[in-house]
Structure 1
Amino acid sequence: MDWDGVTFGAFLGVAGTFGMLALAFYPVMRRTFLLWNAVRTFAFCLMGLALFPVELPAFFPTGEARIDIGEIALSIAVGCTGPFLAAYIEERGPYARIRFWLRTMLPIGVLGGVATALAPWWPRLDWLHDLIILAMILGLLVALIVAVRAGSRAARFQAVSYSPLIAVGLVVLTYELSTGQPMPYWQVAALFAILADFLFTGVGVIDGFMVIKRQRDAAVADVREARIAVATDPLTDIANRRGLALRFRDSGHARPRGLAVIDCDHFKRINDMFGHDVGDEVLIAVAEGLKHDNVFPARQGGEEFVVLLYGDDWQRLAETVRRRITISVLELVPEVPFPVTASAGLTQVGEQDTLDSAVKRGDDALYAAKDAGRDTLLLWQDGKHSQPRLVREV
């Protein structure tokens, strides 16, 4: 069995999967570190293809050219590690200087690749390539230490991920710079170190994804709660005027068949006799009485309420909830010794109606109900106010 081929095949499988996962996560997370990680991963794959002793297709360069391609890919891969980590570590915290150094690693890595490409004409540039790689590794090590000490969770993951690769890189480069010869079996050690890098970095990316997801979920929940708070009356815990408007034009719900404007009769007397605290309790009880199937209640202001009515029996439903107000106040606010009644103005909601036009007609009918002696419901129809026939049958 060709163990070199098996080992390298396993490396390419893990690396390819890792790179594709990074690209697959990008549309979800929209974080640039995923793109840098994919570029870095594919550069390491190219390095492995060039430097590992496996047979390649005929079109791939051989000899010194193949080694040069591997070393250029290595320079690019190490250089991409900088902007990857710069985009990966948390945005908060004292990381501005760390990011500046990490971002400079890419042009330094490109410089190392250029040195390798020109080495056939100027052999001393091979030494420059090794020195550049060594400088980038040392710079990366310092950046990781500083970021970890500053409390970066992402840097802690990457410190574990990069440790084998940094160790192998330091040993190999020190050996080559001191002896002038390549270290035996360094390719195998590098592949295993890169595999460890991929595995631990993958765990870190998944952890980062979960952190972002939790943050997004919390932000969505905050926005939802804020929208609910803006559209809810804080006293009665039913919709306010804004919430009523949102419900009226919400295409996700059926269009209401009718609208009633309801006002408590002689509410000022309750405040004067029992105080505003009891008055508030009465308003809460009124809101409870208005809650019913096929009814969307809202407090318009003061002691005035608006209900949207759904279903074919909307006229009877309007009278039902109006009468429920008296029962609700009697049960929930027993300190008020007399019945609390309400007057209501009712109107049908047409296809061309806006909320304002329907409320205006409901207000007209409500004033007519007040003038008619209160404790009644009147229907606005063709400019006239009358009791609906179904109301008298209740």
Structure 2
Amino acid sequence: MTLLISLFGVGAAMLSAPVIASTNPVPNCIAKVPDQITLVETGSASLDWRCDGSVPKLGPGRIAVRLVPTDDTAAYLETRTGYLHSLSVIAFRGARALAGVTYPASTLKSGTAEVSFAARLPDTNQRADSYIAVFEGAEFPTTIGHAQLVSKPVSERLDAEWQRVTLAMFVGFLLLPVILNLGFFRALRAEFLLWHALLAFSMAAHLMTSGLIAVYWPIDIIAMTDLAISTFGLVVIAAIMFATRLVETDRQSHRLRRLLEYSVISIILITVLRMARIDAFEPYSAKVYFASFLPVLILMVWFVIDAARRGSRAVWFQIIAWVPFLVLALLRIGSMLGTDAGYLEAPWLFRVGTVTEVIFTALGVVDRVMALKRERDIAQAQAYNLIQISEQDSLTGLPNRRMLESRFDDLREQGFDTFALLDLDKFKDINDLFGHQVGDQALIACASAIRGGSDRDTIAVRLGGEEFVVLARGKRSVERVEALRQAIPLRIAGAVKGLDRPVTASMGVVELPRASRGLMTFEDLYSRADQLLYEAKSSGRNRMYFERLSVFEKAPKIRSGMRDKEQAA
């Protein structure tokens, strides 16, 4: 729905492009004003007037614009916003000055529609047949070339409200990706999402310098120009950083990426110098400012073409999204460097580019997000499989010693206070007489017997060889693990064919008091259960030895030799 509204806004913005109700259809004449000529003398002085639309060299000096009204409705001088020190407007009848007024730049408020401002004409007792506007320190040719007499500022005309509404639609449309990208970033932590959020936000801020921001925050033309220049620089920086992060790393030239990242520093310097308004640079600052973006534009085009050649999928969304902006950039830079009349604004092309950029870049972001999600899901699945492999016994499917040791403290906190160490009796004879394949089948059957099925209060672990651990919690935990031990011979007999003897198991069980949590390690309990298991083996096998421990300060010593255990087995 928002997309349809925005597309409608594009058409509406084109159809409702303002027609300036100018009261001076006669072409303006423009001339440089020497320092020795006063404002009153500009009407009679012999100045080098240009009436062909060209603008003299700008800079710290003064430039006069002669405007001729055709009726009595003229009340304001209106022109494009830009840097200047002051504006003086003098009303003339013939060569005689009737009245004049001077506006310092800080008193000229930016209009709320278009990139314009209006200054009220001086009050006169007689009808003026011409006005001369003297701009001091003007740096933008459009500020000079677009000067005109109007009956009402564009901000007060009937179509101004519709312009503000359509502009607000574009701004709202640009702010949607900000919210979406921040939401995606919380899940994926992909850097390009933050840069795209900044790109959309800076484009919205730059679009608001077309007058919308002055509705909520009345500011003078210098502050508005500073805001327009700084937000435009931010748009370019965010676009560079976004593109270099969006395009797949293995599908881009790292040399071009570094060059683009270094160009960000130059854009910051250019923007700061442009806003500093150094007098020595003023005659050239506007042209140099526009020309400085040409190498960046060439680098950007080179980067996307190279990425497309390398097989990038993401870059194609950027190519489509940036076509209107590329055309606009070439038109503006070319018109600024090729003429003295200033750059071609083409606001409708900027708005079309805004919608195109949001739509296709959003599609590119979603496509990239889905690709990253697939990669992440695959990586997580592989990591999970690796964890499963590293923590699961491959023969029996039970958890292994690695898992038990790494999670032992957590299991104790969950209430698993019964620790049973189980070992199959005379298992070496099974392997020797019937082969390891039969022995493996017996181990699998044993694991099946002690697994506990749906009992969530019992966990079986294979430590290695024929040795297992059973952890239990809850009521009658010792009786439950003993029942599992006693089920082993029957389960093995039913699952393993060809055995001519029962396979029994011995077990040492330690029941721990709750107060012992955090005081005894896995090795402590294993050592004590191992001693009980040894006693069960020595007492004739196929039995359980059990002990309920009290809290003790010193851990039992680990039995040094394994030979006795092997003999007992």
TM over 0.5: yes
Residue 135 (1) aligns with residue 317 (2): no
* Corresponding residue for residue 318 of structure 1: 481
Pairs aligned (count): 382
What are the Cα deviations for residues 7-38 of structure 1, in whole angstroms up to 9, with x where unaligned?
A: 21111111233334444544444444344334
Residue 301 (1) aligns with residue 464 (2): yes
- Please report the TM-score for the alignment, with normalisation by the length of structure 2: 0.61
Query: Alignment partner of 2:397: what SS?
Result: coil
* Corresponding residue for residue 428 of structure 2: 268
**1:243 maps to amino acid:** M
* Corresponding residue for residue 47 of structure 1: 206
* Corresponding residue for residue 109 of structure 1: 267
Distance 1:234 1:381 in 2: 33
Deviates more, 1:22-31 or 1:135-144: 22-31
Query: Alignment partner of 2:232: what SS?
Result: helix
Query: Alignment partner of 1:283: what SS?
Result: helix
* Corresponding residue for residue 195 of structure 2: 36
Distance 1:324 1:359, change over 3 A: same
**2:535 maps to amino acid:** A
Distance 1:288 1:191, change over 3 A: same
Distance 1:382 1:48, change over 3 A: closer
Distance 1:35 1:320, change over 3 A: closer
Q: How far 1:151 moved relative to its partner?
A: 2.2
Distance 1:240 1:61, change over 3 A: same
Distance 2:230 2:409 in 1: 62
Could you tell me which of 508, 532, 538 is aligned with 1:371?
538
Q: How far 1:220 moved relative to its partner?
A: 3.1
Query: Alignment partner of 1:250: what SS?
Result: helix
Q: How far 1:128 moved relative to its partner?
A: 1.9
Query: Alignment partner of 2:410: what SS?
Result: coil
Residue 166 (1) aligns with residue 326 (2): yes
* Corresponding residue for residue 231 of structure 1: 391
2:445 touches 2:495 (CA, 8 Å); kept in 1?
A: yes
Distance 2:423 2:260 in 1: 68
Deviates more, 1:23-32 or 1:210-219: 23-32
Distance 1:289 1:59, change over 3 A: same
Gaps of 5+ in 2: 1-158, 551-569
What are the Cα deviations for residues 59-111 of structure 1, in whole angstroms up to 9, with x where unaligned?
A: 3223x874565345334422432223223323334521121122133233334
Distance 1:80 1:381 in 2: 67
Distance 2:464 2:441 in 1: 15
Distance 1:256 1:264 in 2: 23
* Corresponding residue for residue 236 of structure 2: 78
1:361 touches 1:380 (CA, 8 Å); kept in 2?
A: no
Query: Alignment partner of 1:298: what SS?
Result: strand
* Corresponding residue for residue 392 of structure 1: none
Structure (1/2) with the larger helix percentage: 1
Distance 1:91 1:290, change over 3 A: same
Distance 1:197 1:315, change over 3 A: same
2:513 touches 2:549 (CA, 8 Å); kept in 1?
A: no
Larger Rg: 2
- Please report the TM-score for the alignment, with normalisation by the length of structure 1: 0.85
Gaps of 5+ in 1: 384-394
**1:371 maps to amino acid:** S
Q: How far 1:222 moved relative to its partner?
A: 3.0
Could you tell me which of 408, 419, 428 is aligned with 1:259?
419
**1:59 maps to amino acid:** P
Residue 18 (1) aligns with residue 177 (2): yes
1:78 touches 1:133 (CA, 8 Å); kept in 2?
A: no
Distance 2:547 2:224 in 1: 90
Distance 1:231 1:65 in 2: 64
Residue 344 (1) aligns with residue 507 (2): yes
Distance 1:328 1:151, change over 3 A: same
**1:61 maps to amino acid:** D
Distance 1:306 1:59 in 2: 77
Residue 195 (1) aligns with residue 355 (2): yes
Distance 2:348 2:189 in 1: 34
Distance 1:119 1:10 in 2: 37
Distance 1:49 1:55 in 2: 8
Deviates more, 1:50-59 or 1:161-170: 50-59
Could you tell me which of 512, 516, 528 is aligned with 1:361?
528
1:290 touches 1:322 (CA, 8 Å); kept in 2?
A: yes
What are the Cα deviations for residues 321-353 of structure 1, in whole angstroms up to 9, with x where unaligned?
A: 112111111121112122111122222123314
Distance 1:338 1:27 in 2: 61
1:264 touches 1:303 (CA, 8 Å); kept in 2?
A: yes
Q: How far 1:144 moved relative to its partner?
A: 0.7
Could you tell me which of 423, 437, 445 is aligned with 1:277?
437
Query: Alignment partner of 2:292: what SS?
Result: helix
2:331 touches 2:344 (CA, 8 Å); kept in 1?
A: no
Structure (1/2) with the larger strand percentage: 2
Distance 1:371 1:19, change over 3 A: closer
**1:335 maps to amino acid:** G
Distance 1:49 1:140 in 2: 26
**1:187 maps to amino acid:** P
Residue identity over aligned pairs, in percent, reads 29
Query: Alignment partner of 2:249: what SS?
Result: coil
* Corresponding residue for residue 391 of structure 1: none
Distance 1:379 1:55 in 2: 84
What are the Cα deviations for residues 274-311 of structure 1, in whole angstroms up to 9, with x where unaligned?
A: 11111111111111111112321112222121111222
Distance 1:311 1:50 in 2: 70
1:98 touches 1:147 (CA, 8 Å); kept in 2?
A: no
Distance 2:214 2:179 in 1: 24
Distance 1:51 1:113, change over 3 A: farther
Q: How far 1:145 moved relative to its partner?
A: 0.6
1:43 touches 1:76 (CA, 8 Å); kept in 2?
A: yes
2:324 touches 2:349 (CA, 8 Å); kept in 1?
A: no
**1:241 maps to amino acid:** R
Deviates more, 1:361-370 or 1:328-337: 361-370
